[in-house]
């Protein structure tokens, strides 16, 4: 494995991380403005800022005038100081993102090919990462790590994944050492529904909702949970797995594999989830039948989530076509059994994803950055 960069070898203090995170969320600001966001003396904040400037993580930018006093320079992140790679693996595609220290995606590449052969996929991922770094002029030593997300759930003390069936070649093996040897970088593993929720939290619904549940409609169906602005992982890293259908009713789950099967029975052939997402037509024979079949279970899930977690929003996202997601939202029903005195409980908003790009790959890229800096 390659030798660690200066940032990989250095651990920021909790207060340094608070400063970095404030600048990530709110952008450049003066020392005085930063001090108002910290539960520290102004002198201590100024000292911490100087330390971060010396490390090359912060820089002094343009000056602004506040009232009658002397103009004050803005402090900002040095966005080129560090980068991270995010990889999201789906049955029929992979997405690779490059994010800078400001958590801005510099480039996102979709590999439109089945990811059923692990060896072939890793070769393609390595080549893609090399091209992305070259195109963006990013030295490899400034990449602090790879966030790797895949469709499935953790087993074996979070060392292995039990993936969707088309990804069986990635299942039940210790992926971390294999991936680190392949990428020659530190690797963080996560379920892609969790990283998608993290991506949504940073650049989508999370901008106005601190508590939401992310429904990921993919080959299967899972959810990610954001509580008080942070992802909830659960004891085994599998929080958000929704088991409300017994095995004999599996085909009534709101999973897109069953929509593709229904469309094929009615004469419409769909090559992949991406093909379904791009070509979706509400008038296709089979769409209405699928909605009618999955809606009772989806209603149960939505009402259970609303009652147990009381989120501000439930996000319909993943690889679902936006028109189809809106059709499900429009026909989802909140039950009225708790309505007394004409005062029902407040319900979460049902909304489509508000991110640009692939939320799972974005969230995966943010994982190494969060570990080191925020």
Q: What is the CATH classification number for the domain harbouring 38?
A: 1.10.10.10
Whether residue 203 lies inside any domain: the answer is no
Same domain for 105 and 148, yes or no, is: yes
pLDDT at 3 over 50: no
The pLDDT value given to residue 164? 84
Same domain, 147 and 253: no
Q: How many CB atoms lie within 10 A of CB 247?
A: 5
Rounded to whole angstroms, the Cα distance separating 305 from 245 reads: 15
Question: Rounded to the nearest 10 degrees, what angle do helices 14-26 and 42-54 cross at?
Answer: 80
Mean pLDDT to the nearest integer, 17-36: 91
**Pair 94, 172 in one domain:** yes
1 pLDDT higher than 60: no
* Same domain (yes/no): 213, 348: yes
Residue 1 maps to a domain: no
> Do residues 126 and 145 both lie within one domain?
yes
Residue 249: both structure tokens together = 């009713």
Q: Are 214 and 346 members of one domain? A: yes
Q: What is the mean pLDDT of residues 146-155?
A: 94
Q: Are residues 216 and 338 in the same domain?
A: yes
Name, in order, each residue with C-beta under 8 angstroms of 85's C-beta and a sequence gap of 6 or more: 96, 97, 98, 99, 129, 132, 143, 145, 146, 147, 183, 185, 365, 368
Query: Residue 6: what pLDDT?
Result: 44
The pLDDT assigned to 66 comes to 62
Q: Are residues 218 and 194 part of one domain?
A: no
Percentage of the chain exceeding pLDDT 70 = 95
Q: Among the three residues 39, 58, 77, which one is the final residue of a domain in this structure?
A: 77
pLDDT band at 61 (very low <50, low <70, confident <90, very high): confident
For residues 193 and 98, membership in a common domain is answered with: yes
Give residue 338's pLDDT. Answer: 58
Q: What tens digit of pLDDT does each residue of 222-281 get?
A: 999 999 999 999 999 999 888 778 888 888 999 999 999 999 999 999 999 989 999 999
Q: Is the pLDDT of residue 8 over 60?
A: no
136 and 69 within one domain? no
For the CA atoms of 112, 117, 119, 124, what is the dihedral angle to 10 degrees? 0
pLDDT tens digits for 174-225? 999 999 999 999 999 999 999 999 999 988 999 999 999 999 999 999 999 9
Q: How far is CA 255 from CA 35, 217, 226, 258, in A?
A: 48, 6, 22, 6
- SS3 call for 162: strand
The enclosing domain of 151 has a CATH number of 3.30.420.40
Task: Give the global pTM.
Answer: 0.85
Helix ranges (DSSP H) in 210-349: 256-265, 273-279, 287-309, 322-331
Residues 241 and 342 both lie in one domain: yes
Structural domain containing residue 73: 6-77
One domain for residues 191 and 315: no
């Amino acid at each position: 494995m390659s030798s660690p960069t200066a940032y990989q070898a250095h651990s920021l203090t909790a207060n340094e991380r608070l400063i970095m995170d404030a600048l990530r969320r709110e952008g450049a600001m003066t020392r005085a403005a930063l001090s108002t966001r910290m539960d520290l003396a102004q002198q201590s904040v100024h000292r911490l800022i100087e330390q971060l400037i010396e490390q090359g993580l912060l820089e002094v930018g343009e000056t602004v005038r506040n009232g009658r006093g002397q103009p004050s320079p803005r402090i900002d992140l040095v966005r080129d100081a560090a980068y991270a790679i995010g990889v999201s693996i789906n049955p029929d595609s992979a997405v690779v993102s490059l994010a800078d220290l400001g958590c801005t995606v510099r480039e996102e590449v979709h590999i439109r090919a089945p990811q059923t052969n692990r060896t072939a996929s890793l070769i393609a991922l390595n080549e893609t990462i090399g091209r992305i770094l070259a195109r963006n002029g990013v030295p490899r030593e400034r990449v602090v790590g790879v966030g790797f997300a895949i469709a499935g759930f953790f087993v074996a003390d979070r060392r292995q994944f039990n993936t969707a069936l088309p990804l069986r070649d990635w299942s039940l093996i210790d992926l971390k050492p294999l991936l680190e040897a392949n990428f020659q970088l530190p690797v963080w593993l996560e379920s892609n529904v969790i990283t998608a929720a993290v991506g949504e939290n940073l650049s989508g619904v999370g901008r106005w909702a601190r508590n939401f549940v992310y429904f990921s409609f993919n080959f299967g169906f899972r959810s990610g949970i954001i509580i008080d602005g942070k992802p909830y992982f659960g004891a085994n890293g599998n929080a958000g797995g929704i088991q409300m259908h017994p095995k004999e009713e599996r085909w009534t789950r709101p999973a897109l594999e069953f929509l593709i099967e229904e469309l094929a029975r009615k004469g419409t052939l769909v090559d992949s989830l991406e093909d379904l997402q791009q070509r979706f037509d509400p008038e296709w024979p089979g769409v209405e039948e699928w909605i009618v079949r999955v809606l009772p279970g989806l209603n149960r899930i939505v009402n259970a989530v609303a009652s147990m977690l009381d989120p501000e929003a439930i996000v319909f996202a993943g690889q679902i076509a936006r028109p189809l997601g809106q059709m499900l939202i429009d026909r989802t029903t909140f039950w009225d059994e708790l309505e007394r005195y004409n005062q029902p409980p407040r319900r979460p908003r049902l909304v489509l994803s508000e991110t640009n790009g692939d939320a799972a790959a974005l969230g995966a890229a943010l994982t190494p950055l969060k570990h080191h800096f925020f």
